[in-house]
Amino acid sequence: MRVIIILLLFAQYALGQVSYERILNAGSEPGNWLTYSGNYRGYRYSSLSQINTKNIARLKPAWVYQTGEPGKVETSPIVVDGILYVTEMSHIVTALDGRTGRPLWSYRRPAVDVPTCCGPVNRGVAILDDTLYFGSLDAHLVALDMKTGKVRWDVTLADYRVGHSITAAPLAVKDKVIVGISGGDLGIRGFLDAYDAKTGKLAWRFWTVPGPGEPGHDTWEGDSWKTGGAGTWITGTYDPELNLIYWPAGNPGPDLNGDHRKGDNLYSNSLLAINPDTGKLKWYFQFTSHDVNDWSANQVPVLIDTVMNGRERKLVVQANRNGFYYVLDRVTGEFLNGTPFVKQTWAKGLDKRGRPIRLPNTKPTAEGTLVYPGMGGGTNWYSPSFSPQTGLFYVHVHENYGQVFYKLKAEYKPGARFEAGFVRNIPGEESYGAVKALEPESGKLRWEFREYSISGGGLLSTAGGLVFGGDREGYFFALDAESGKPLWRFQTGATIWSNPVSFLIDGKQHVAIAAGQAIFTFALD
């Protein structure tokens, strides 16, 4: 049987097929980057070590691809056999020759004026067998032939005119494509969908705001569930042994005024453990109940196996936008540990179940209330990284970051912002960005690399002992993964709002990052 499996895998490689089994074993072929976070566990880690702490000074640009349209590129490339599959603006998918950066084909759909919170962005595609999967800003899931870019099927998830959109990269699991929805700041009712990868037929939908008769519906007041938000706009992770996907949900709506949605507002700001075959919820954990600060939980959950308190545990960890770092048992959802990883002033701490103990007078008011962290959170959607080599969890943070939260009257209009409030910065207060290395079991700080500006970029750790990241000043940089010492940087000329990846081209390690409207790749000279 083992021989047959090996022969089948070899045949898939020969045909350029990216089977589920290849994605499942993505760690065994570090020359490719087969899924959003590099593996199903959310590590964003490369076991390649050609580029390392000894030779990082020789890292130079290999090529730069200019997308040609204004805007910011947030894509995380998928890389297969020397070809990069990227999203450019939110309506374009392109295949790039990894040797030269020249486009091999591009798929374009009409650019539609879609109401969004944060611009027309897209974070990448998924791949399964010989098909790419792309979620468009106008809320379509599109299957493309990976060799030609031709459309195989195209399904509509929801009406973009009332605020639905897709900005996250889908996740391919087994024979399904799982995709989240954006629009929590525009009063949508959030959901997570799974589609048959071959046909595009809807397999299941999980509503992240329960309707009448569904568990959790009683956590919403009146009809507030209809505009409850809880978008699923960042790619989740997957444990094949437990057969569970871990997908975070965003803020409730309206964002800053909870007067008419009394209750915990499940499953907003929660981590959901869902069976990918059936869409059934196994467990959930809500980080911020009845959120009124827009602290969406749309941060990549990372799956780590380790010994904790003398016992082997399957963990899921997340540095949450609310300023706390969480450690959960990913089998049961049990809260194991939690601690602030940035300055926070809104909670006394977490109780034994991990529920925040909110301090009085910390909610938004008409006169304004100062709270740390601000609306953007202690961190945000950009990826953290976990290195099996160092055993450390790396996260880009926004430190010493407070804002004054104001509450306004909530008024829902389809397709319009539904925030019911606003924020202001504190005059004279200087926040800063930093990369922090945390011990994953405790959240204890091991080191911090302070930056001049805050960051909107994710991190990549490698077996070369490096942590790569980018910042809003346009620097793409590399740190020593053990100490945080800066070792190398390159000025890209534009703000970085994306996550780095690493791969091989003709046996030579490359690192890629999107900056502004361009995609940069680097290799040793």
Positive or negative: CA dihedral 405, 407, 408, 410: positive
Return all residues near 472 (Cβ < 8 A) that are at least 6 apart.
433, 453, 454, 455, 456, 495, 496
Beta bridge partner(s), residue 45: 461
d(CA 232, CA 179): 8
Please list the active-site residues: 294
Structural element, H or E, at residue 13: helix 2-15
- Comparing CA positions, the residue from 362, 379, 380 lying closest to residue 371 is 362
d(CA 425, CA 503): 40
Amino acid at 24: L
d(CA 235, CA 219): 26
d(CA 353, CA 431): 31
Amino acid at 169: A
Return all residues near 178 (Cβ < 8 A) that are at least 6 apart.
170, 171, 172, 192, 193, 194, 195, 236, 245, 247, 276
Beta bridge partner(s), residue 511: 502, 522
**Rounded to the nearest 5°, which phi and psi values hold at 404?**
-95, 120
Residue 11 DSSP one-character state: H
Pair 34, 504: CB distance under 8 Å: no
Pair 429, 480: CB distance under 8 Å: no
Pair 462, 46: CB distance under 8 Å: yes
The residue behind tokens 């990976």 is 146
Q: What is the DSSP string of 298-319?
A: -S--EEEEEEETTEEEEEEEEE
- Looking at 120-260, which runs of residues are DSSP E strands? 126-128, 131-135, 140-145, 151-156, 171-173, 176-180, 191-196, 202-207, 237-239, 244-248
Pair 46, 502: CB distance under 8 Å: yes
Task: List Cα–Cα distances, 173 to 19, 333, 358, 471, in angstroms.
Answer: 10, 21, 38, 32
How many CB atoms neighbour CB 223 within 10 A? 10
Give the residue ranges of DSSP H helices in 80-158. Answer: none
Positive or negative: CA dihedral 146, 151, 153, 159: positive
